[in-house]
Amino acid sequence: MTARSMLRGPRAAVGLALAGALALSGCAGNEATAPKKNASAGGNSGSGLDEPDVNGDGKVVIGVLSPGDINDHGYYQSFVDSADAFAKEKGWKVIKRGSVPASDALTAARALCQQHVDMVALGASELKTAIPASEEPVCIKTAWYVPSSANIDQAPRILLSADDPNQSLLAAGYAAGLKMKAAGHTKAGFIAGAKADFSVAAAKAFLAGIRKVVPKATLTSSYTGDFNDSAKAKEATQAQISQGIKVIYPYLGGATDAAAQLAKAGGALTLTPGTDRCDSTRPKFDISVIFSPGDYFRAALEEFAKNNLKMGTTRVWHLGVDPYPTVKICKARGSEDQKLATFMKKIGNKEIDPKAEVERLG
């Protein structure tokens, strides 16, 4: 699965919630003395949970489940890296499991709760089948963090984290359009795994953004059937290069780097599916499309540490308003940065309606 599909269902209305891609593995950080409970009830929201030591056992343990490869150097890994880094700062412990099939999510969540975790965090909405465990006795003393998508209902003991993938994909296309116009290119490519509603919608939003700058631009979309299969991703990339495509968006999970490396070798500009990799040298990226679940999760953990994480609510992130999601041109020229910033600000203040822009494509 892609980076975005996880966050949105990714990032699954459009899917980049991309892909959306965690056998219980090791721990991060050291156990520390029990953090003092915040006496404030501000974070309980009626759930009766005192954060962060929700179960009151004198330590804080975060349990993470991800549907994807937690060592993919991208979308999925960012979620775990954020948990590890914050846990190390706080002296908390992290239990993590990657590549969890949706069919095993409920059992995996119960297993975490049996290890007395204070929070169950799902790396992507594909694992929504785990959510019923939040109301079971085994998990009754846990808080839950779940990346949202349109097909997840609010539950009393979970915090949903959501964004609109149309926003970041439209801005990604706009940034790509600026580069295409400067170079005189009109052909762009989009490579994803499964041809699902979210990935098709992501491609459409990307094209809508490009056409804000290059009205006659075309987009060739390729679906390999697997977000993590590097061989299939390289085959699709080579096919697009052979067609003279000069901008390729590998909207992938574990296969991202293989596709991007080949695209760069073929002279094409590339974009990231979720994380800031402008400093990456192998492969190099030209545009970072940043909707990393790790950035959102880090903010949630900061509130969790203060007993301010409100279960039974949804936190919605807005491009052009919040720090994330956002889009960054790695080596901007001339007024490219300014134009992109203005475009994202217009999305944030609703001067530009991403949904309407996509619908104009028909």
Instruction: Please write the tens of the pLDDT for every residue from 101-154.
Output: 999 999 999 999 999 999 999 998 889 999 999 999 999 999 999 987 667 888
The answer to whether residue 35 scores a pLDDT higher than 60 is: no
Cβ-based neighbour number of residue 30 at 10 Å: 10
Q: Identify the bridge partners of residue 328 per DSSP, sorted by sequence position.
A: 288
Mean pLDDT for the chain overall: 86
Where do you find CATH 3.40.50.2300 in the chain?
A: 3-163+294-317, 166-291+323-357
- pLDDT value of position 10: 38
Q: Which of 182, 166, 128, 175 is nearest to 285 (CA)?
A: 175
Grouping H, G, I as helix, E, B as strand and the rest as coil, residue 156 is: coil
Smallest CA-to-CA distance from 226 within 202, 253, 206, 201 is with 253
**Average pLDDT of the residues in 153-157:** 88
pLDDT of residue 148: 75
| Fold adopted by 3-163+294-317 | Rossmann fold (3.40.50)
**CA-CA distance, 110 to 133, in Å (whole number)?**
6
Q: How far apart are the C-alpha atoms of 174 and 177, rounded to whole Å? A: 5
Beta bridge partners of 300: none
260, 287 contact by CB (below 8 A): no
What global pTM score does this model have?
Answer: 0.76
Res. 85 pLDDT band, cuts 50 70 90: very high
Q: Where are the alpha helices (DSSP H) in the chain?
A: 3-8, 75-90, 105-114, 165-183, 197-211, 230-242, 256-265, 293-305, 336-348, 354-359
Q: Give the whole-angstrom CA distance, residue 233 versus residue 9.
A: 22
Q: Tell me, what amino acid is at 155?
A: A
Kindly report the CATH number that applies to the domain delimited by 166-291+323-357.
3.40.50.2300
Average pLDDT score over residue span 32-47: 37
